[in-house]
Structure 1
Amino acid sequence: MNTAKRWADRYRAEGVAGMADRSSRPHRSPNRTRPPLERKVLHLRVKKRWGPARIAGRLGLAASTCHAILRRAGVARLAHLDRGTGRPVRRYEHANPGDLVHVDVKKLGNIPDGGGWRTQGRRRGKLNRTATPGHTTDRWGGARLGYAFLHTALDDHSRLAYTEILNDETRQTATAFWQRAQAWFAAHGIVVRRVITDNGSCYRSRLWRDTLATAGISMKKTCPYRPQTNGKVERFHRTLTDEWAYAKPYSSETARRAALPAWLHHYNNHRSHTALDGPPASRVPNLSGQNS
């Protein structure tokens, strides 16, 4: 009845114009947080990079109140900020495949025969390491199986990825990997023009520099202590570990390595990428199996 009366009063006072929708926001908000307290909320967000819950705990406010203050001020989400500087992350994407290729190495501990500590527990995992052929022994007598070095080259525009599991990350290994990766990209119709890496010793070597220069490829380095500059391949490695390396309880390192080619094929050709609205292959013109 109150709503009907309100509409009737508006029609009598304003005619047809009074029937238009209006904002339900009140003209005044007497209970709105005072400006000095709002400034404290914003200061903690900028200075500490805290979320609403932590700010609320410090200032004795409700988390929903802090969230409303941050939203009203148009503050960027924490996920969109650089943790080091607090500034919004500058996201970029090169226009064409091959304009920039990200290269990086990810280390994973080798799995002993019978399974490692993640699936078997620490005691059983230690016994399995000792029983696995080819293990080494540290100075405390513990068995060690070493690491698998995942060398990856990922195209910035399409996110098409090429990965190999190698035994180290020396300049010879990294350079030989790149030559195979470049040939793989060429087979997919991608001409690489620029490569970005971190400042690892293998990428600072004369061999790496000369190999890229001979191929007519420009070389770029990330800023020191800023892995975000190479964030696309870093994020790919996280996906790789989540969906392949630790996705199931592998019984040996051989079994895990045997599963990598199938996963890479699925990632490149079938797995829909959240940033692409499709798999990486959908962004590579005239890739085998496409008609475009």
Structure 2
Amino acid sequence: MSWQEASTMQLRTEFVHLARQEGVNIRQLCRRFNISPSTAYKWLNRFETSGAEGLHDQSRRPRTSPKRCADEVEQQILTMSQQYEAWGARKLKRVLEDEGAVMPSVSTVHAVLQRHSRVDPKAAEIKPFIRFEHEAPNDLWQIDFKGHFSLSHGRCHPFTALDDHSRFSLCIAACANEQRQTVQDHLIRSFRRYGLPLRMTMDNGSPWGDQTGVYTALEVWLMSQGIKVGHSRPYHPQTQGKLERFHRSLKNEVLQGRFFTDLDDAQRAFDTWRDIYNQKRPHQA
């Protein structure tokens, strides 16, 4: 006949029953049940206080967690995260501190976001890279068109210009096409507002141009303003890495999941976000 297995509760109940008998040797009983005296007296005290219910396993969660942020702080983080869904812990912490809030470490803010499913699982796949930048604003501008998208009426071709040194967004224009005159008109507005850059880098093809010995009308016009013109290497988007990263933010924070009726509707959204990007969004790089 096999031995009958006893549950933990049965063993504790049996121990307490035997230990409460008159004249029993507690330490000898402990050796029999293979437990320490401190554990034995813990069970006895629990039984005296709560009866048989006291012998059940209790939560091991600490009564206080000094390193866990307060509910009020956690709510501040979640509220800001809801307003800027694409931002991570570093940006949220910085903005909240700029507004006067006392924030825990970046890792704690990240833990709060993770606990409430506010962290994109793909974010961990992004690898760090070596950054470089020109020494001063207006040393170099990066310009390009963000991939076009459909509107209720027509299509939108976002034209963007970014300062290489500061990452300041110089222009986000909702355009109806990608023609030279459209680009030139928006650049004139940016030049009048921010001054002329020393150099400009752009993609290849129309209206930019990159044919050896042949200059496009846009290149000729830029060079006539005293601006040096360069092009990214074909099939190497990292040449304009800052602008590519800017386009990713534009997509995640403005375009994704939204639909615009016309160019004016898209431009209003661009203007609102550009102000946030330039004036509020922290740029840790």
TM-score after normalising by structure 2: 0.50
Q: Which has the larger radius of gyration?
A: 2
> TM-score if structure 1 supplies the norm length?
0.48
